[in-house]
Structure 1
């Protein structure tokens, strides 16, 4: 049986203060190998089509209720 990747989580956040331009993150690979380091940063929504693994397509779905 093929292994399926878990569904990605998408969150709608309301910012209450300015955010840093970027932040450091890493993938730990369950401790099986050295961590892979990443620099995460914000991009304009107009550029979201370039997101990895089809994640840009998730931005059009509104599965998060918004406070009105």
Structure 2
């Protein structure tokens, strides 16, 4: 059996980077939603924070959908 260590390291590196990025995006989304609900003042900042949180969640969903597409295809 011959293992291609360079390919294995490449897959590990890409998986690590994508996982950290996805968790970071999800964390930003949750933080944005928590800030939006905890602040009592209304205004444009709340809408901007909520929009940013939704964008983060949308990017997470898109990344998961792309991963499922790669597995199925």
TM-score calculated relative to the size of structure 2: 0.21
1 or 2, which has the higher helix percentage? Answer: 2
TM-score calculated relative to the size of structure 1: 0.22
1 or 2, which has the higher strand percentage? Answer: 1
Q: Which has the larger radius of gyration?
A: 2
Larger RCO (CA under 8 A, 6+ residues apart):
2
